[in-house]
A = this chain, B = another copy of it.
Amino acid sequence: MHSTQEPRPTPVSRRRVTAAMVADLAGVSTATVSLVANGKAEGRVSTANEAKVRAAIRELGYVVDGIGSSLARGVSNTVIMIAPDISNPFFATVIAGVRAALGSQFQLLLSVTDAGQLPSADDTRRLLGLRPAGLLVDAPEPSFLEELSAPGPLVLLDAPGFGPEVPAVNLDVAQGSRLLAEHLAAAGHKKVAYLDGTTGTTTFEVRRTAFLAAAAELGMEVPAGALAAAAINVGLAATAFAEVWPRWKRDGITAVVCATDTHAYGILQEARATGISIPGELAVTGFDNLPYSMTSSPGLTSINLPGELLGRRAAEQLLKLIAGEHLETQQVTLESSLMVRGSTSDI
């Protein structure tokens, strides 16, 4: 710690270039500078003045100050995305979609919380204090909206379980589960198991419930004891599988559906280590279609969720809300698709 007396070094930097400085140099008012700098000159500023202002802007290196501008307009040109988990290859594709749709008019800023944690109401209020033009919230908990009053334009991503009145773009994971069940049933499996996550996330509930329903409907049995669970971790999934496999085998189970690809990697690993033939002895499916699922051996049959599209649609909806437009559909649901690979099919 330094004493307060010690003089701070004067910043070497040139002082901030303001619209007033540009106006002085160009010989116009700041109103004119503002018009030109914001691309609103058309029909409101003489071409002569516009040229003078542009020259001055270039000479001084003027950039409109976001803070001053936001205060005057009441809103910033920022879109804030709140996300609980960024350490996820899927998330990067969502971001790419958001960025693509947002274009250059709005600046995308991410607010992340510690692994799996949702932002506190305080955090969110502070974020709102930055006056974002809009808010994107990924995988929020059901209680998220209660803490928020007057959030402004807002679109939820991957948020099943919210009322139809809140704009959201969702992934049809239930449909993914059905596709998996149909695929296995078509291959002749009669007894199947399910390896769930342990976090109790809504999407996991939906994945499991929809699979069990579809399996029953298609005449496949999920015997008692054929439901296991493990955290999202290859090693833990392997261990959990090793524990239940003898019983599953005895019960005549020939296929297992995993809540995530990561769980499935654990099974593939354990099967390799102990010589279980995949898919001959046991067919395995994942969920999420992570990049590694394409190159693992065997390749992993999985459900592809359209991440890029999820981000894009959400941003498009948000853009409409920001523009004050009406949304034809408050809730959009995106289809998932089945990727068949070696883990379920010998081809």
A contact set with B: CB distance below 8 Å:
1-2, 8, 11-14, 61, 63-71, 76, 78, 80, 85-89, 91-93, 95-96, 99, 107-112, 114-115, 123, 125-131, 149-150, 152, 233-235, 238, 265-266, 269, 272-273, 291-292, 294-297, 324-326
Contacts and interface: CB of A to CB of B under 8 A. Distances in A.
Contacts of A91: 86-87
A14 B150 contact: yes
B295 A238 contact: yes
B2 A326 contact: yes
Contact of A96 (B115, B149, B295): B115
A149 B13 contact: yes
Nearest to A324: B8
Given A67-B130, A95-B86, A108 B111 contact: yes
15 contacts: A13-B150, A14-B150, A63-B126, A66-B126, A67-B130, A68-B71, A76-B130, A80-B109, A85-B92, A87-B93, A107-B111, A109-B110, A110-B111, A234-B292, A265-B292
Given A67-B76, A235-B295, A238-B295, 11 more contacts: A63-B128, A69-B129, A76-B130, A85-B92, A86-B92, A87-B91, A87-B93, A96-B115, A110-B110, A235-B294, A272-B297
A86 B111 CA distance: 13
A314 to B, nearest CB: 16
Given A130-B66, A233-B295, A111 B114 contact: no
A129 B234 contact: no
B269 A325 contact: no
Contacts of A152: 13
Given A1-B325, A87-B89, A63 B129 contact: yes
Contact of A269 (B78, B109, B295, B326): B295
Contacts of A127: 107
A198 B203 CA distance: 37
